[in-house]
Structure 1
Amino acid sequence: MSTSVFNRRWATLLLEALTRHGVRHICIAPGSRSTPLTLAAAAHASVICHTHFDERGLGHLALGLAKASREPVAIIVTSGTATANLYPAIIEAGLTGERLVVLTADRPPELIDCGANQAIRQQGMYASHPTQVLNLPRPTPDLPARWLVSAIDGAVGALTHGALHINCPFAEPLYGPDDDDLYQDWLATLGGWWQTRAPWLRVAHPTAVAVEPDWPLWRKKRGVVLVGRVTAQEGAQLTAWAETLGWPLIGDALSQTGQPLPYADLWLAHPTAAQQLQTAEVVLQFGGSLTGKRVLHWQESCCPQEFWLIDPMPGRLDPAHHRGRRLVAPVSDWLNAHPAQAQAPWARGLSACVEAVRHYVAARLAGPFGEAPLAHRVAALLPPNGQLFAGNSLVIRLIDALAQLPGAYNVYGNRGASGIDGLIATMAGVQRANGLPTLGIVGDLSALYDMNSLALLRQAPAPLVLMVVNNNGGQIFSLLPTPARARETFYCMPQDVEFSHVAAMFGLNYVRAESWQQVSEATAACWAQGGVTLLEAVVEAKAWADTLNQLATQVANGEIETQLESDIARLEPLPL
C-alpha cells in the first residue's frame, strides 16, 4: 500500500509543478500503469481533463489545444505501444512549435528487457523529435521533493517550442486506499511554496528583440513580404505594415493576412509577375510552412540582395538556404521594433496581374460543382467570428491557390509534416481551446484515417461543420507524375465509401451534398441551429484534380492577356 500511496504523492507534485508553468489542459488515455498520473490529474482543481480511447488521436487533440491556446498541454498515456501512437503529434509539434508535455508511464527498470508484459524500451523512443527529454527514476522518498519539482521546472521552463518527453516509471502496487497522512511530510518539505502559484525554479529567457541597425536603409528599398504560418493578430499587423512600406505581400492560406494579392500560386506563373518581382532587393519571410507549389518555387529561385526570415522558432527554416539573416523573434515584437516608413507601392503591375487572374479564375470555376469551385468560394461558408481548419493534401492546396480568406480570421492546419494523420482530432482540440464556431475541411482518406476521432466531436463546445470532400481517393497523386498503370491501385486507392453510417455510429448529424446550394444551406443551418454536422461533399473523382496545373499553364501561356492589358492600361506609369 505504501508504494501506491507514494506513487500518488510523486504524481501529485509532478502535476502541481506543471500547472505552475501554465498547463491547464491534460489529455488522458485509458491505462493501468498511468494510474498515479491519471488520478492526480483528476483530483487537481485547476486543470481540464480530456479523454480519448485512441492515443494517436489523443496526441493530436493535445496538439490542437496547444495551437489555439498557445499554452503547454500535457498528455498522459500508459506504457507499451500506447506511447508509440503519440509519435506523429510529437513530430508535428517539433516542426510547428506547439508545446506538448508528454507523460509516458513506464514499467520500472527491473521489468525492461526481461520478457515482462507490455514492457518496451521507452527511454529515448522518440529520438531527436522532442525538444526536451526527462527520464525520471522510480518514485522513492529517498529523493527530496525539491529534486523532483526543480527537475520538472528546469525541463518545462526551458521548453520554448516542441515537445517535452517525461518518462515516468511506476512500480506496483498501483492501486490501494489513499492514506491521507502517509508521506505528507515529504510534500511538506516544500514549505510555503504550496501557497503560491510560482514555479519552485524559475528559468528566465531573453525578451528583448534585437533591432537591425541598418533597417532604416533596407526599408527604403524594393522589398517583398512573404508570409507563412502566423497568428491572426500577426497577420493583420503584417498586412498594414507591408501596405505602409508599399511592398507586395504574398500570403499563404495560413497567413491570416487576408491575402492582399490572392491566387499567388497562379499569378506567379505569369511573365509580368516574374518581371516585377525579379527587381526586389530584399525579401522578408515571416513564418514557415508555405503551401503553394509556385510560391515555394519563387521563394527558392528569388535572388534578392538579402533574404530575412523572421520566426520565433529557432533553427534553419529556409529550405532554399538563401544568403541573409535568420532572426529569431516573435513576429509582432519584431514588427514593433522595426517600424514601416510610408512610401508608394513599387510593383504596381502585380495588382493588374492579380485582377486579371481573379476574373479568369471566376469565369473558369463558374460551371459544375466540384472541389476546385468549392475551394474558390469557401470564404462564403465561414461562420461569423469563427475559424477554419484546413486539412492536407489536395484540400489545402486548392484553398491556398483559389480562395481569398478574410484578414485576421483564424485559420489552422497541420503544415509541419503535412500528414493526413490526426486532422479531425487536431481540429477538435483547436475548438475546445477557444470555443469558436468551426468549419473543418478534409479529404475522404484523411477522414477515414482519423475516423476514431469523430468521437471527440460529440463534445463540441460550439457549432461545427466537418466537410469531407469525397473524391474517392487520394486524387492529389493525379497531380504528380505517378505511373498511370499503378496510380489507382498504389497511390489514389479509391475506397468507394460514403460517410452516413460513420456519422450515425458517433451520433453526428449527416448531410450529403452534390451541389453548391446544398453545401451552402447545410453550413448556414449549422451556424444558425448549432450542433455538429458531418457534411459529405461528393465530387467527381477525376474532374478537378489537375485544375491547378491547368490554370497555371493557361496563365503562363497568356490566356489572361486581354484582361491584363486592360487593367494595366488604367495604371499610371511607374518605373520599377
Structure 2
Amino acid sequence: MSHSIFNRHWAAVILAALSRHGVQHICIAPGSRSAPLTLEAAAGNLICHTHFDERGLGYLALGLAKATQRPVAIIVTSGTAVANLAPAVIEASLTGERLIVLSADRPPELIGCGANQAIIQPGIFASHVGGALDLPRPSADIPSRWLVSAIDALLQQHPTGTVHINVPFAEPLYGEASSAFQAWHDALGKWWLEDTPWLNIHAERATPVLDSWPRWRQKRGLIIAGKITAQEGVALAEWAETLGWPLLADIQSHTGAPFPCSELWLQEEHARQALDRAEIIIQFGARLTGKRLTSWLAAADPAAYWLIDPLPGHLDPAHHRSQRIVADIGKWLVDHQAVSQPAWLPSLQALALETHAALAERLQEFGEAQLAQRLAELLPEQGALFLGNSLTIRLADAFARLPAGYPVYASRGASGIDGLLATATGVQRGSGKPLLAIVGDLSALYDLNSLALTAGPLVLIVVNNGGGQIFSLLPTPENERARFFTLPQQACFASAAAMFGLAYRQPEDWPSLQAAVEAGWRSTTATLIELKVEAGAPWLAGAWRK
C-alpha cells in the first residue's frame, strides 16, 4: 500500500501549490487513475464540481474562470477523457481564461504496449496550451521542494490561457491518508501554513505611458470597444464622453453603447465617410462581433491606430500599421487622462439613436429579432447575461442596447457553438448571480448533457428557429442550404427539460415571455424557455438591412 499512500502525498502537494495561485474551484470527472487527485481535492478546502461528460466539464471550468477571473483546475482520468477537454482548452487559449488541466496518466511502462486506457498524453493539446509539465512517476526520491517549484514556475511563466500538468500514477490507486512519508511532506516546512507560492518569479511589466498622448487627445479620435470588463467599460464610456469622441461598442464591452446599432447605420455611406475623418483610432479589447464594424475598421486608414488589450499577441486581423499595447486597460485609462472637449461628431450619435428608436418600431413581430432588441427588459436585477454564438450574439450586438456595466459573457475566441450550456452554468456558479442565457437550437442540442449541471436561478432561452439560420444571411445555395448548412432538427425541448428536471415554458407573445422569465427567477430549478420562430423568417433580412 506504500504506493497508494505516497500517491496521496504527491497529489496533496500539487493541489496545495495550485491553491497558492488562486485556485478555489476544481472540476472533477469520474475515473480510477485520477483517484489520488480526486480524493485529495475532496478532503481539502476546494469547491468541487463534478460532471460525467469531460467535454462539458471543461466548459464548466471555462465559465467558472470567466465569472471569477481566477484560475480553475480540472481533474480527469487517462485516455480519451483528456482529449475531450480540447475544445474548452482551445477557447481559453484564445480568450485568456486560466484553466489548469490535471490529467492522470499510466506510468511509462504501460504506454505503447497495449495496456488499457493508455494513450500518448504529453503534448496532446499542442500549441493550445501556454505551457505544460510532464511529471515523473511519484517517488519519495524526488524532493517535494522540486515538485512545488516546478508547478510554481509553470504557472508564473505562463500567466494566461491553459496549462497542462500530466500526472502519472502507478497502482494501487486507492488508500487512506497516512503519516507515512511524513518527512517528505514536512520538507516544505511553514509553507503548509502559508498562502504564498514556494517560488516567486518577479516579472512585473509597467503600463506604458505614451508621451504623444497630450498631442493626440486634441485630435479627432474614435474609440472602438471590444471585449473588456464591466468596470473597464464604465470607465471607458466616461473617458470617451469627456474627450468628445465617438465610441462604437461590441456587445461584450459593457459601455452602454452610446452609439448603438452600428451594424445597421454603418450601411449608410455618409456615416462611414464621417468616421473616416478620425485622425486616431484607439481600440480597447479585441475580437469584435459585428461584421460591418470589423469590415469598416479593416479598411480604415487613420494617422494612428492603437490597440490596447491585456493579452499578448497581434490581435489585429487587418494588420494595420499600429501601436500594439499590452496593458491593463483600467490603469492605462488612468495614466492617459482625458481632457474635456465638445463632441466632434454629434450628428453620428443622433443617427445611431434614431436608428435604435426606429428599430423598436419596426420589430413588432414576436421572435428572435424582437428578443434581441428588447433584451434589456428581461435582464435580472443584479444578475448577468450569457449569449450563445452564431446568430444569437450577432442579433444582440446589432439590435440591443444594454446598461453600462451589466455583466455580459460569451465564448468569442474560437466562437464555436459547442459547450455553451456548460459555460453558462459555470458563469452562474462562479458569479453567484441569477443568469439569463440565450442560445440557438443546434447549440442546445450540441451540449444537451450539460443540462444536468443546471440549477436556479438560471433562465435558458432556446431559440428554436429550425437550425442554423445564420446561413440564411449568407449566400449559401438554396437547394443545399437545409441539408448541408442549417440542418433543421425536429427536436422538442419540453422533453429535454423533463429529462433533466427543468421547468419548461413555451411563450407565444412578449408578455408571456416576460412572465415566464420572471417566474424563472423565483424557481429553485433552472427554467428552459423554448422560443419557437419561423425558420428563415422574412423579417430577418429586412431587419438586418435597415
Normalising by structure 1, what TM-score? 0.93
AA aligned to 1:69 is T
State the SS of the aligned residue for 1:513. coil
2:337 corresponds to: 339
Per-residue CA distance 1:469-506 (angstroms, 9 max, x = gap): 10011111111111211110111111111111111111
SS of the equivalent of 1:209 reads coil
Residues of 1 paired with 2:26 and 2:329: CA distance? 28
2:125 match: 126
Match of 1:281? 279
Residue equivalent to 1:244: 242
CA contact (8 A) 2:266 2:293 kept: yes
Q: Deviations over 1:358-398 (max 9, x none)?
A: 233122212x2111111111110110111110000100000
Residue in structure 2 matched with residue 267 of structure 1 by the alignment? 265
Q: Which of 487, 494, 512 is 1:493 aligned to? A: 487
More moved, 344-353 vs 409-418: 344-353
Contact 1:465–1:523 (8 Å) recurs in 2: yes
CA deviation string 1:403-437 (max 9, x = no partner): 11111000000000000111011111111111111
The CA deviation string for residues 248-274 of structure 1, in whole angstroms up to 9 with x for no partner, is: 000101111100011010111112211
Partners of 1:514 and 1:539 within 8 A in 2: no
1-structure distance, mates of 2:531, 2:337:
45
Per the alignment, residue 573 of structure 1 pairs with none
In 1, Cα distance between equivalents of 2:120 and 2:282 = 44
1:265 and 1:295 in contact (8 A); partners too: yes
- Asked if residue 502 in structure 1 is aligned to residue 496 in structure 2, the reply is yes
Question: Do the aligned partners of 2:251 and 2:397 also contact (CA within 8 Å) in 1?
Answer: yes
**One-letter amino acid of the structure 1 residue matched with residue 63 of structure 2:** G
Partner of 1:13: 13
1:482-538 Cα deviation digits (max 9, x unpaired): 121111011111111111111111111010122212111101222345542101111
3-state SS of paired residue (1:494): coil
Alignment match, 1:26? 26
Instruction: Say whether the 8 Å CA contact 2:261–2:355 is kept in structure 1.
Output: yes
| 8 Å contact kept, 1:103–1:167 | yes
Rounded to whole Å, the distance in 1 between the matches of 2:210 and 2:421 is 41
Query: Could you tell me which residue of structure 2 aligns to residue 373 of structure 1?
Result: 370
Change (3 A) 1:545 1:93: farther
In structure 2, the partner of 1:166 is 165
Alignment of structure 1 residues 173-572 onto 2, 5 Å = 173-178=172-177, 180-366=178-364, 368-458=365-455, 460=456, 463-529=457-523, 531-543=525-537, 546-547=540-541, 550-551=542-543, 553-554=545-546
Q: Is the 8 A contact 1:478 1:545 kept in 2?
A: no
- Maintained 8 Å contact 2:258/2:349: no
Q: Deviations over 1:161-206 (max 9, x none)?
A: 100000111111112344x221111011112221211110012231
2:140 aligned residue: 141
CA 543–228 in structure 1, closer or farther in 2 if over 3 Å, else same:
same
For the residue of structure 2 that corresponds to 1:472, the secondary structure is coil
2:377 alignment partner, SS class = helix
Q: What amino acid does structure 1 have at the position aligned with 2:17?
A: A
Root-mean-square deviation over aligned CA pairs = 1.2
Q: How many residues align?
A: 546
Note if contact 1:237-1:332 (Cα within 8 Å) is conserved in structure 2: yes
Q: Structure 2: how far apart are the matches of 1:177 and 1:402?
A: 58
Task: State which drifts further: 476-485 or 160-169.
Answer: 476-485
| Distance in 2 separating the partners of 1:270 and 1:258 | 22
Alignment-derived partner of residue 564 in structure 1: none
* Corresponding residue number in structure 2 for 1:117: 116
Q: Is the 8 A contact 1:372 1:544 kept in 2?
A: no
8 Å CA contact 2:260, 2:353 repeated in 1: no
Following superposition, the deviation at residue 212 of structure 1 comes to 0.5
Amino acid at match of 2:199: L
Q: What are the superposed Cα offsets for residues 85-118 of structure 1, whole Å, 9 maximum, x if unpaired?
A: 1001100001100000000111111111111111
Q: Which amino acid aligns with 2:413?
A: G
CA distance in 2, matches of 1:205, 1:501: 54
User: Aligned partner of 1:429: which letter?
Assistant: G
Structure 2: which amino acid aligns with 1:251?
A
For residue 545 of structure 1, report the CA deviation from its aligned partner: 7.2
1:439 maps to amino acid: L
CA contact (8 A) 2:79 2:118 kept: yes
Contact 1:476 1:545 in 2 (8 A): no
- Determine the structure 2 residue equivalent to 1:49: 48
How far 1:207 sits from its partner (Å)?
4.5
Given that 1:63 and 1:100 are in contact with CA atoms closer than 8 Å, whether structure 2 keeps it comes out as yes
TM-score (norm 2): 0.98
Residue of structure 1 equivalent to 2:149 = 150
Change (3 A) 1:221 1:490: same
For structure 1, which runs of at least 5 residues remain unmatched after alignment?
555-576
Contact residue 21 and residue 199 of structure 1 kept, 8 A: yes
Q: Distance in 1 between matches of 2:42 and 2:477?
A: 53
Question: Structure 2, unaligned stretches of length 5 or more?
Answer: none
Partner Cα distance (1:352, 1:196) in 2: 57
For the 8 Å contact 1:272–1:350, the answer to whether it is kept is no
Alpha-carbon distance between aligned partners in 1 of 2:274 and 2:544, rounded to the nearest angstrom: 18
Q: 1:545, 1:48 → 2: CA distance?
A: 46
CA distance in 2, matches of 1:407, 1:102: 35
CA distance in 2, matches of 1:394, 1:230: 21
Change (3 A) 1:528 1:192: closer
CA distance in 2, matches of 1:288, 1:442: 23
SS where residue 488 of structure 1 aligns?
helix
Query: Partners in 1 of 2:389 and 2:403 — Cα distance?
Result: 20
Q: 2:38 maps to which residue?
A: 38
- Cα distance in structure 1, aligned partners of 2:97 and 2:539: 32
Instruction: Please give the alpha-carbon distance, in whole angstroms, between the structure 1 residues aligned to 2:436 and 2:120.
Output: 40
- Distance apart, 1:158 and its partner CA: 2.3
SS of the residue corresponding to residue 52 of structure 2 reads coil
- The one-letter code of the counterpart of 2:15 is L
- What is the alpha-carbon distance in structure 2 between the residues aligned to residue 55 and residue 327 of structure 1? 36
Residue 10 of structure 1 aligns with an amino acid whose one-letter code is W
Q: In 2, distance between residues paired with 1:15 and 1:287? A: 33
Q: CA deviation at 1:553?
A: 3.9
